[in-house]
């Protein structure tokens, strides 16, 4: 199953023949976002969350790996297995830690854009913690603390990158002179964006001009962000380098 932006994972079945045997043994391997694969493991290490969150805060791209051995079936039966069958009861195999240093001229280009009085916004499919780290390196989040819209304790709220602060989503935080965006940089994930669009459209409209980071976004969500900013009167220019950016690039001016 190829990588899916919506599911944030991919899986592969591999077969091998043991020495002095004609029997083929199959194994299912899965890689994807740590928060997505977490509930697919039969056992979760106690330091699972702490490890990948710590690495993400330092700017690393983190992928979780899992596998499981498949029963003795013929190749056709293996091909007919559903995605749910393959991607369940996995054995945790570890994390892949990928360092993605900034291009040498990225900071200078961002500085030049900001100095020209343009607003810089990041839209990415990466983890929000990784995205927040990159935004600090590029100096387009000027506020001392960045808040991420997070699902926590059965409700949506704002949570700081280091998890030391939690602030309610709406209420007094959007009242005149108390607006949350005056003191904090804001990061919204694709899931958070969907919640706001479906349940708090008025609040989302107020937040749009002040959100500087969108993370874990799918292609359609990137497109929605560009269109929504244009509807609010913004002229949008976009730079993207992947197929996931095509829809948004088409709508950018």
- Residue 245: the pLDDT is 79
Q: Which two tokens stand for residue 103?
A: 């291009």
- Residue 195: the pLDDT is 95
- Residue 223: the pLDDT is 92
Q: Does domain 9-98 have CATH number 2.70.98.40?
A: no
Query: Which CATH fold would you assign to the domain 106-251?
Result: Rossmann fold (3.40.50)
- Residue 40: the pLDDT is 94
Tell me the DSSP string of the chain: ---BTTTTEEEEEEEEE-TT--PEEEEEEEEE-HHHHGGGBSS--TTHHHHHHHHHHTT-EEEEEEEEEPPS--HHHHHT--HHHHTSSBEEEEEEEE--PPPTTHHHHHHHHHHTTPPP-EE-SS-HHHHHHHHHHHT---SS-EEEEEEETTEEEEEETTS--EEESSGGGGSTT--GGGTSEEEEEHHHHHHHHHH-HHHHHHHGGGEEEEES--HHHHHHHHHHHHHTT--------SGGGHHHHHH--
What's the pLDDT tens digit per position in 66-81? 999 988 777 788 778 8
| Positions of the chain with pLDDT lower than 50, given as ranges | none
- Residue 43: the pLDDT is 94
- Residue 176: the pLDDT is 67
- Residue 210: the pLDDT is 93
Question: Domain extents for the chain?
Answer: 9-98, 106-251
- Residue 179: the pLDDT is 83
What's the pLDDT tens digit per position in 63-119? 999 999 988 777 788 778 888 888 899 999 999 998 888 888 999 999 999 999 999
């Amino acid at each position: 199953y190829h990588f899916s932006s919506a599911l944030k994972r991919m899986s592969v079945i591999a077969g091998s023949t043991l020495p002095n045997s004609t029997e083929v043994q199959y194994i299912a391997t899965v890689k994807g976002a740590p928060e997505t694969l977490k509930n697919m493991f039969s056992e979760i290490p106690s330091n699972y969350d702490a490890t990948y969150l710590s690495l993400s805060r330092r700017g690393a791209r983190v992928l979780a790996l899992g596998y499981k051995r498949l029963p003795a079936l013929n190749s056709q039966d293996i091909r007919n297995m559903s995605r749910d069958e393959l991607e369940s009861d996995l054995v945790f195999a570890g994390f892949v830690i990928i360092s993605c240093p900034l291009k040498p001229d990225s900071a200078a280009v961002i500085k030049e854009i900001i100095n020209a009085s343009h607003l810089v916004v990041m839209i990415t499919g990466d983890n929000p913690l990784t995205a927040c780290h990159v935004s600090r390196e590029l100096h387009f989040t000027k506020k001392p603390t960045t808040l991420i819209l997070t699902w926590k304790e059965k409700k949506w709220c704002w949570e700081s990158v280091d998890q030391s602060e939690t602030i309610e989503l709406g209420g007094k935080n959007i009242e005149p002179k108390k607006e949350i965006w005056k003191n904090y940089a804001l990061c919204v994930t694709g899931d958070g964006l969907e919640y706001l669009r479906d349940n708090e459209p008025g609040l989302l409209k107020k937040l749009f001009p002040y959100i500087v980071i969108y993370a874990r976004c799918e292609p359609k969500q990137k497109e929605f962000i560009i269109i929504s900013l244009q509807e609010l009167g913004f002229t949008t220019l976009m730079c993207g380098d992947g197929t996931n950016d095509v829809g948004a690039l088409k709508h950018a001016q």
